[in-house]
Amino acid sequence: MTDKEFDVTPWDVEGNVDYKKLIEKFGTERLTEDLKKRIYRNADERNLYIDRDFVFSHRDMDKILEDYEDGDDFFLYTGVGPSGPMHIGHIISFKMTKWFQENFDVNVYIQFPDDEKFWTRDRSYDEVEKYAKDNLKDVAAVGFDPDKTFVFKNTEYIGNMYKAATKLAKKVNNSVVSAVFGFDSSTNIGLNFYPALQMLPTFFEDKRCLIPAGIDQDPYWRIQRDIAPKLNRKKAAQIHNKLVPALTGPEGKMSSSKPKDAIMLSDSPDEVREKVMQRAYSGGQVTKEEHREKGADLSVDVAYQWLKNLFLEDKSRVEKIAKEYSSGEMLTGEVKQILVDELNRFLKEHQKRKEERGGELVEQMMYEGSLAQEMWNNKVEL
């Protein structure tokens, strides 16, 4: 496979991503078994995504742990662009961030770049605001510690960030952003400046920053790591998750712009059933007879991959499905049914938390909690 067969940028993913090659291309490091053990030793808890290599790559995760083992903590940073309703892929980096907060007891910063989505998409601020309002509740439903989490929209918090952002912006020139992001003469000048704002939160505290995010966001951190020493500050560490593909197959990524091929966090049980049953790409054979004889190709089967990577904690259950499905004993419909049940169980809980406490938690994390108040009372320093 040549590089041309897949492409990963912060705005788009094309083709069937070869994650081993992506690690080489982006210059990140694989999360080794040793490093996984070291994370678990410090966290005192295992993690499904790390266990199944869905969280698979990092930069300086070893340094984060080294500091932590020496008694120095770190802080977490992640974000989401409010350009549509959130889907099941978006929630992964937030669940990872929550896992780190819970097990390491550290501060979390969550950016809502409403400006970026205004600049990159053909959307009005009214639309962006509408999505931000809804996305904020989804993020709140993940269950962050409201006194140790600060969630902010760029257009609102900009007054506290602007001076620091100008200092950062002065260190990045156009040849860098055009090489890294492909910006050209048709890119609007807002977007040209935006990377300064996505990088700035990595300097919100003078500690090491750990960013749990999809690997598509990595280009920002490459620039951050280049300029941090010039600003006399620390390079940010990352822990990357893979990108959940669309229901229809391994190419590209799940995206809010194609809701029929995505499982949205707001989907009803019936919508989930219909989407999975009708649209999830199957590695099974076309006829029942052929399937019984040849079995399923697990590597391309969406229902199996999602169960293994994202839902089934019980490893023996995954192994049983793998054995029975690949031998043809189990049929696609049965595996899909298990996925439907798991998805609906997860979504039911998520929607309940969002409905019951979302609004109140958003207020706390944005304005009222201890960390939020501290952030509003101080300007970001760089």
Which residues of this chain interact with ligand TYM, rule CB under 6 A?
A: 10, 77-81, 89-90, 92-93, 111, 113, 116, 198, 211, 213-214, 216-217, 241, 243-244, 253-254
Select 242 or 291, whichever has its Cβ closest to ligand TYM: 242
Select 60 or 116, whichever has its Cβ closest to ligand TYM: 116
Select 224 or 326, whichever has its Cβ closest to ligand TYM: 224
CB of 1 to ligand TYM, least distance (A): 20
CB of 174 to ligand TYM, least distance (A): 19
CB of 78 to ligand TYM, least distance (A): 4
CB of 185 to ligand TYM, least distance (A): 22
Give 311's DSSP letter: I
CB of 110 to ligand TYM, least distance (A): 8
Give 19's DSSP letter: H
Query: DSSP readout, 124-191?
Result: -HHHHHHHHHHHHHHHHHT---TTSEEEEEHHHHHHHHHHHHHHHHTT--HHHHHHHH---TTS-HHH
Select 108 or 361, whichever has its Cβ closest to ligand TYM: 108
Residue 328 zone, left/alpha/beta (φ > 0; ψ -120 to 50; rest): left
CB-based contact 247:271 (threshold 8 Å): no
Select 151 or 322, whichever has its Cβ closest to ligand TYM: 151
d(CA 106, CA 205) in angstroms, rounded, equals 12
Select 216 or 301, whichever has its Cβ closest to ligand TYM: 216
Q: Which residue is nearest to ligand TYM, using beta carbons?
A: 214
d(CA 342, CA 307) in angstroms, rounded, equals 8
One-letter amino acid for residue 220 of the chain: Y
CB of 294 to ligand TYM, least distance (A): 30
Select 235 or 253, whichever has its Cβ closest to ligand TYM: 253
Select 80 or 237, whichever has its Cβ closest to ligand TYM: 80
Question: Among 83, 127, 86, 96, which residue's Cα sits nearest to residue 254?
Answer: 86
CB of 116 to ligand TYM, least distance (A): 6
Cα 250 from chain centroid? Answer: 18
CB of 86 to ligand TYM, least distance (A): 8
Q: Which residues contact 53 (CB under 8 A, 6 or more apart)?
A: 31
Structure tokens at 373: 């108040």
Strand blocks (E) in the chain: 6-8, 13-15, 29-30, 55-59, 74-79, 108-112, 149-153, 208-214, 237-241
